[in-house]
Amino acid sequence: MCRKGTWGSEFYKITPASEDIIVTKHRYSAFIHTRLDSILRTLNIKNILMSGVSTNVCVESTARDGFMLDYDVVFLSDCTAAFSKEAHEMTLTNINQFFGTVADSNQVIDKWVTLGKNNLSITK
C-alpha cells in the first residue's frame, strides 16, 4: 500500500501541472471515498482510460467501479502491470468480457487523433 509520504507514493516520471486535479485514493478503487466521480461528472467525462499498477488489484477495482457508475472503460493493456503475467492476462480477459474494452495505447492514440479527444470511443 502506498501511503502518503512513504516510498512509492510519489509521482514517478511525471509531474502534474498546476491546473491538474489530483485525487488521493484510500482504497484499491479510486472511486471509493474520493471525489473522483464528482469531478468526472462536473467535467462531463464519459470515458475513462485505465493505467497503473497492479492490473489485477487497484486498476481492475477502479475499472469495475467506473463501469458500475456508467463510465465507458478503456483498459490500456500496455500501460498496466501486475506482479505476474498470468494475473495481468486474467484481468485483461475479465475486463474485456464484462467491464469495458481492452486496447493498447497506440490504438487509443490513433482513435484520439482521428476522432478528437472529446469523441473517444474504442469498440471491441
Q: pLDDT for 27-77, tens place per residue?
A: 999 999 999 999 999 999 999 999 999 999 999 999 999 999 999 999 999
pTM assigned to the model = 0.86
What pLDDT sits at residue 75?
Answer: 97
CATH entry 3.40.50.850 includes domain 36-119: yes
pLDDT, one tens digit per residue, over 77-115 is 999 999 999 999 999 999 999 999 999 999 999 888 887
Q: What is the pLDDT of residue 12?
A: 80
In whole angstroms, what is the distance from residue 93 CA to residue 102 CA?
Answer: 8
Q: Which residue from 29, 31, 35, 36 is spatially nearest to 54, judged by alpha carbons?
A: 29
Q: Where are the domains of the chain?
A: 36-119
What are the grid coordinates assigned to 92, written together?
485483461
